[in-house]
Structure 1
Amino acid sequence: MSPRRSYDQYCSAARALDVVGDRWTLLIVRELFAGPRRYTDLHADLPGVSTDVLASRLKDMERDGIATRRRLPPPGAAYVYELTPRGRRLLPVLRALGEWGADDLGERRPTDAVRAHWFALPLLGALEGEGLVEVRLEEGDFHLHVGRDEEPLYGDGPAPAEPDARLLLSAATCTAVARGETTLADAVREGRITVTGDGTLAKALREG
């Protein structure tokens, strides 16, 4: 494990960047808000990161108390990484960074990778209430645990149980919501989002 580099500044922002300022660290945190993840899953959902860098960052995150590694009980018996309470306190940081960076999304570049669940945090910030929401994009499906402040906040694939609402929309509409160009309610009224389901969240979105 390499020694942690430091800005050597007596400033809370500098101290925070000592811990999470390295390339890939906050994106690993983003992935871990989906709950415990295997190393192979993290590597698959962080295109561009080398195996050496990912392993190094995970060790650093364990050392700094952001993440922990544990072995699943049989029949899984695999090692997974998950956020600690200190790591989960980074949620407002990620949300603020996402809001700040939304204006820079622009048009998707040919070299840009995309995973459907990368839209999870912006949509969570736009949804009110509490419940399970399934989101369907052309890029894939994911689900959201709305109204929760602890992991998992979201997950890949269809909802694990009958959701309170299902949303069918495009990545372009997700981007517009993230950038504040439209609200979920307006996008539903305009026909850019199709809402199905009988739960409170579905009814609120249709009536909003």
Structure 2
Amino acid sequence: MPRRTYDHYCAAGRALDVVGDRWSLLVIRELCSGQRRYSDLFADLPGISTDVLAARLKDLERDGIVTRHRVGPRATTAVYELTPAGAALRPVLDALSVWGTPLLGDRRPTDAVRAHWFALPIGRAIADHLPKGTATVHIGDTVFHVVIDDTGITHHDGPATDPDVELHLDLTAATAVANGTLPLAAATPDTEWVSAS
């Protein structure tokens, strides 16, 4: 299938030629914290069809945003991860997250939610208290860690090896922190914020 294009000689237009299709940025969001199997992506993108997911992954791989490789004892499991060009889109997703936070409002009965979707806003909230360092975040059974350093804020699957702080939130509190109705300090009153050295 030929590549769809806006045919605009404009940097934003060219960028949207690559990541502007529906679901593309959400696939990238899922890969921001680490590699994923196809089945992981499908499970964490409720509403996407298998055909659309396969097409988006193929397009993103063709455009150098995503790479696919095989892992496991017999190299039988395919995993997807961001290339450096794909990882460079994280600030774009973060900016969209900031812009979209006021649009969240109350959660609708039809809204899907995954705890790791709160990594971007919670990472920003952590950075307000921990200008540099690492925090492990538990939201129910979901665990990820946030790294704040001179390059910015990133999040990764699983706990940090030696975090400066460890946070435990339930989904309700994480939602409130993410949508800006509850400050992180109020959601984690027992947390001692220590400046990272």
* Same fold? TM cut 0.5: yes
- Answer whether contact 1:135 1:167 (CA < 8 A) is retained: yes
Which ranges of structure 1 fall in alignment gaps of 5 or more residues? none
Match of 1:106 in 2: 105
Q: Shift of residue 179 of structure 1?
A: 4.3
Rounded Cα–Cα distance in structure 2 between residues aligned with 1:3 and 1:184: 47
Which ranges of structure 2 fall in alignment gaps of 5 or more residues? none
Q: Secondary structure at the match of 1:203?
A: coil
Number of residue pairs the alignment of both structures matches? 192
2:80 is the alignment partner of 1:81: yes
Q: Shift of residue 152 of structure 1?
A: 7.2
Rounded Cα–Cα distance in structure 1 between residues aligned with 2:79 and 2:15: 25
Match of 1:30 in 2: 29
Q: 1:194 to 1:169 in 2, by over 3 A?
A: farther
Match of 2:143 in 1: 142
Q: Shift of residue 177 of structure 1?
A: 3.6
Rounded Cα–Cα distance in structure 2 between residues aligned with 1:166 and 1:57: 35
Deviation string, structure 1 residues 129-186 (Cα, Å, up to 9, x no partner): 4444232334x4222231265997222xx5264543221234444344444455434x
Q: Secondary structure at the match of 2:194?
A: helix
Match of 2:55 in 1: 56
Structural mapping, 1:125-140, within 5 Å: 125-128=124-127, 129-138=131-140, 140=141
Q: 1:88 to 1:180 in 2, by over 3 A?
A: same
TM-score by length of 1: 0.80
Structure 1 vs Structure 2: percent identity of aligned residues?
53
- Answer whether contact 2:69 2:80 (CA < 8 A) is retained: yes
